[in-house]
Amino acid sequence: MTSTDIPPTSIHEPSAPVVLYPDSESLPGSPTRQNSLNASKVTLVIADLLMVSIALVAGTWINEWLNPGDPTSVRDYMALVLLSVPVWPMVFTQQLLYRARYLSRRIDETTRVIRSVAIGVLLTGGLSILLKVTIGRWWVLIISALLLVLLVSERLLARSLFDRARRNGTLLRPVVIAGRNAEGQFVRDMIEADPALGYVFHGFVEDLVEREPGESPLALLGNPGKVVDKLNEMQVNSVIVAATAIDVGSSNRLIRSLTEHGIHVELSSTLADIAAHRLTVRPVGRVPMMYVEPIRRTGWRPRAKRLFDIVAASVLLILAAPLFIVAALAVKLTSPGGAIFSQSRVGRDGELFSMHKLRTMVADAEARLESVEHLSTTTGPLFKIEDDPRITSVGKWLRKLSIDELPQLFNVLKGEMSLVGPRPALPREVEAWDKELHNRLRVQPGITGMWQVMGRSEGDHDSKYAQLDLYYVDNWSLVTDLVIVARTIPVVLGRKGQY
């Protein structure tokens, strides 16, 4: 049932001051879902223990092989391993590795795994002192390395399995949004667009009872008892409060009542495109205040990015040289024209540069542009044709494997582009941009970027690439670049859509 299916009488009925608008049919009750979550958590604990056991046992044997002079015997190490295994689940629990809300990002989970390994190894060392077992330096280094590799790999696999399960409609937390204003609907759209976030939307809580003149339009949302009763009736134990939809007094009463009844409460904000790592929550009087770190495009960060670009581009050019030569010959021999195609693009601060690619279209593709513009699948300045008739047979394969972009590594070495950044735009595209989108030009364009790995050939191209590129410009970090480069590999191998 959608909000439009609710009879008008239920909206204006004075006896029901708080109205819950269901947007989907009720899912299985919370006990069933809780059982599934508990089973998943137990499975994760077992998997963690298995990885720890393998790392400790295998590390001991590897140490014996690599370091035969270690005075401590394998038997003593195994005794230490056996006694230390129960310590690890406590360490993982202390590091919140079984609390989903602390692991929303891969980097957060990986960081907690690294801390857990460090703490676990230190505790194992303390246990060795009590047992009077001398542990060698090589043993510590070997098991630490194995623990990191196995646990991080296992967690990445578990994350992918959880994501797949959520996309298939399982392991989802039913959630209600308090406040049906623009912010509340934005949160609803975000949740429904990405099941991997772990939520399934059940409805809005909003007061639509007729009010006296001058009365706050959402004053009756301050009646938390009605909300709690309705949530219990629907077996929903999570609420997202749209902060801008409720006045301060009402929100405090509502949140206090919900949390006292064991209901999970999250507070949204209007900071839709500010990365979480730029936010710091600190108290200002009795109000938790969010401090937003300023954008930093000077200092050591851009120099580190430039060094990374030079080193990575040089290595990639050397490794890809044979492939580049073969591809260039294939282009040259199968269609008239040169192997390299150069095109004017807009770089940082609006400066024009010649971007190089292996030619994937017929030699007179630019002259034929007007004849195919009507085939574009986008409505804004971003031009895209699903099956462009100007693409050659070889060009199709070069695009599918992104081999055509190899010459852009020379643009990177020249400092005109970066490995990671917003898509390099054509001058005619820039002319059609609105004022906000010109912020893309504050950084160098890149060979790959957020749009390529997250939004390629999905949904509304114009709004998607603009949103992701602006997010990158405002929240760039070297870690972000490394993550995007890593995610580019499966995107290319998976032959996801081209641009």
The answer to whether residue 407 is domain-embedded is yes
Residue 274: which residues within 8 A CB-CB, separation 6 or more? 292, 474, 475
* Res. 91 pLDDT band, cuts 50 70 90: very high
Same domain, yes or no, for 120 and 57?
Answer: yes
- The pLDDT assigned to 320 comes to 92
More confident residue, 426 or 205: 426
Q: How many CA atoms lie within 13 A of 373 on its CB side?
A: 10
Contact criterion met (CB below 8 Å) for 199 and 175: yes
State the first-to-last Cα distance of the chain, in angstroms, to the nearest integer.
39
- The pLDDT assigned to 386 comes to 66
Q: Domain ends where: 136, 167, 198?
A: 167
The answer to whether residue 280 is domain-embedded is no
Same domain, yes or no, for 205 and 336?
Answer: no
Same domain, yes or no, for 342 and 423?
Answer: yes
Same domain, yes or no, for 60 and 196?
Answer: no
Tokens of 144: 């630490």
Q: Return the closest-CA partner of residue 375 out of 383, 365, 385.
A: 385
* Res. 373 pLDDT band, cuts 50 70 90: low
Domain of 17, in residue numbers: 3-24+172-270
Tokens of 482: 């490394």
The answer to whether residue 285 is domain-embedded is no
- What are the tens digits of pLDDT across the range 220-268? 455 677 778 878 888 888 899 888 888 777 788 888 888 888 888 998 8
Q: Return the closest-CA partner of residue 498 out of 401, 415, 380.
A: 401
Dist CA 324 CA 391 (whole Å): 19
In this structure, how many other beta carbons lie within 10 angstroms of the beta carbon of residue 215? 11
Q: Return the closest-CA partner of residue 257 out of 233, 232, 227.
A: 227
Q: Which residues pair with 241 in a beta bridge?
A: 178, 267
Same domain, yes or no, for 178 and 157?
Answer: no
The answer to whether residue 292 is domain-embedded is no
Burial of 415 (0-12, 13-18, 19+ CB in 10 A): middle
The answer to whether residue 445 is domain-embedded is yes
The answer to whether residue 141 is domain-embedded is yes
CA distances from 209 to 1, 19, 141, 246, 409 (A): 21, 9, 66, 15, 62
Q: Domain ends where: 104, 139, 167?
A: 167
Same domain, yes or no, for 10 and 36?
Answer: no
Tokens of 426: 């054509």
Contact criterion met (CB below 8 Å) for 358 and 327: yes
In the chain, pLDDT over 90 holds for what percent of residues? Answer: 24
Same domain, yes or no, for 18 and 38?
Answer: no
Question: Into how many domains does the chain fold?
Answer: 3
Same domain, yes or no, for 316 and 426?
Answer: yes
**pLDDT tops 50 at residue 434:** yes
Contact criterion met (CB below 8 Å) for 204 and 177: yes
Using CA atoms in the order 182, 187, 192, 197, what is the torsion angle rounded to 10 degrees? Answer: 170
- The pLDDT assigned to 384 comes to 65
The answer to whether residue 362 is domain-embedded is yes
* Res. 6 pLDDT band, cuts 50 70 90: very low
**pLDDT tops 50 at residue 459:** no
Same domain, yes or no, for 463 and 320?
Answer: yes
Q: Domain ends where: 139, 167, 195?
A: 167
CATH number, domain at 216? 3.40.50.10700
Same domain, yes or no, for 241 and 353?
Answer: no
In the chain, pLDDT over 70 holds for what percent of residues? Answer: 81
Q: What is the pTM of this model?
A: 0.67
Tell me the average pLDDT of the chain: 80
Dist CA 179 CA 19 (whole Å): 11
The answer to whether residue 186 is domain-embedded is yes
Distance of CA 289 to the CA centre of its chain: 25
- The pLDDT assigned to 274 comes to 83
* Res. 328 pLDDT band, cuts 50 70 90: very high
Mean pLDDT on 364-390: 65
Same domain, yes or no, for 124 and 236?
Answer: no
Same domain, yes or no, for 127 and 237?
Answer: no
What is the number of residues in the chain?
Answer: 499
Mean pLDDT on 56-82: 87
